[in-house]
Amino acid sequence: LNRGFSNGVLVSGVAGFIGANLTRELLSQGRYVVGVDNFSRGTKENLSWTESYGDQFVLLTGDVSDSENLGSLLDIAGIAQKSLLEVIHLAANSDIAAGVSDPRIDLKDTLLTTFSLLEFCKRSGIRRFSFASSSAVYGDHGETRINETTAPLFPTSNYGAMKLASEAIISAACESFLDVGYIFRFPNVVGTPATHGVIFDLVNKLKSNPGPLEVLGDGAQQKSYLHVSDLVDAILYIKSVETAGRVVFNIGPVDEGLTVREIAEIVIQVVSPSREICFTGGDRGWLGDIPRFFYSVDKLSSIGWVPVMGSRESVRRAAVEVAGQLCCA
């Protein structure tokens, strides 16, 4: 069995929040997608709508932190490795706090997945690799607007560290066997199907607890928020414009973001108006959190892309979407 396509894209973490959204767009553009997920956080329900695409979408269940395992999964599914043109690597641990207490989580789920997917590319002759990196690679730069040449890169969490480590081995692979390595550094991304993140947590708390909304930290932490629809659009835009070498872009809104207090207020307004807020205190929500974060997307603007929504609109829309997702689950 050879499924007979030649422009296939392998998407790791396909059943996660970003994976499901990106795959929807890839399929609608006529791409063949082979998705793989270990379903540690992603769910098959996130991909239920793919049924209408028939053979254009293949779902593999398994872990990509072992490249031989991935080869076996493809063999069993009857997919020739030469039918794959590129890899889009989204699989990662997304629980930052968990990775601080046990660094092996980020090592395995974030770095070793990248490592083994690169091994897989080298062995299979796949020369295009896209990676979901993060603003967390930068660490804490205070009031500085962070752009792609900001340094030193001192991540404050193992999550950020293993994202940076992944970037590093992709860079080395670009010297050796890749034609292009895309590194997309994005901040907090919001929307549905949510599996984690501040909006997901706040909506959950409001739904499960009748008292005041408990918010981690002092509410002053300020960050940028991007809606997943804008993120997917930016990724595909960059891939269409830049086609060789090491391609690194910050992706985010053009504004300076919202405070956690503002987010809590928006979520309350949408889900449960008149609820009060109580803050746990401290300038960080958790160990490894960054209190303030100013993100420059000038490089992305310079190639002609701007998001449809700003941070406030993204958060408001996501709050409505997440509330809908959780009420019907």
Residue ranges binding a second copy (CB under 8 A)? 100, 103, 107, 111, 115, 118-119, 137, 139, 148-158, 160-162, 164-165, 167-169, 171-172, 174-176, 246, 248, 287-288
The 3-state secondary structure of 30-97 reads: CCCEEEEECCCCCCHHHHHHHHHHHHHEEEEECCCCCHHHHHHHHHHHCCCHHHEEEEEECCCCCCHH
Which of residues 7 and 147 has its CB atom nearest to a second copy in the complex? 147
Tokens of 256: 């300076």
Tokens of 224: 């940028």
Report how far residue 84's alpha carbon sits from residue 93's, in angstroms, rounded to the nearest whole number. Answer: 25
Which of residues 34 and 107 has its CB atom nearest to a second copy in the complex? 107
Smallest distance, a second copy to C-beta of residue 297, A: 16
Which of residues 148 and 201 has its CB atom nearest to a second copy in the complex? 148
Smallest distance, a second copy to C-beta of residue 9, A: 23
Tokens of 48: 């239920």
Which of residues 29 and 149 has its CB atom nearest to a second copy in the complex? 149
DSSP 238: H
Q: Beta strands 33-37 and 222-223: pairing type? A: unpaired
Around 166, how many Cα atoms within 13 Å sit in the side-chain half-sphere? Answer: 39
Residues facing 278 on adjacent strands: 214
Q: What are phi and psi of 89, to 5 degrees?
A: -105, 105
Smallest distance, a second copy to C-beta of residue 187, A: 18
Which of residues 172 and 306 has its CB atom nearest to a second copy in the complex? 172
Smallest distance, a second copy to C-beta of residue 140, A: 9
Smallest distance, a second copy to C-beta of residue 5, A: 29
Which of residues 89 and 317 has its CB atom nearest to a second copy in the complex? 89
Smallest distance, a second copy to C-beta of residue 152, A: 6
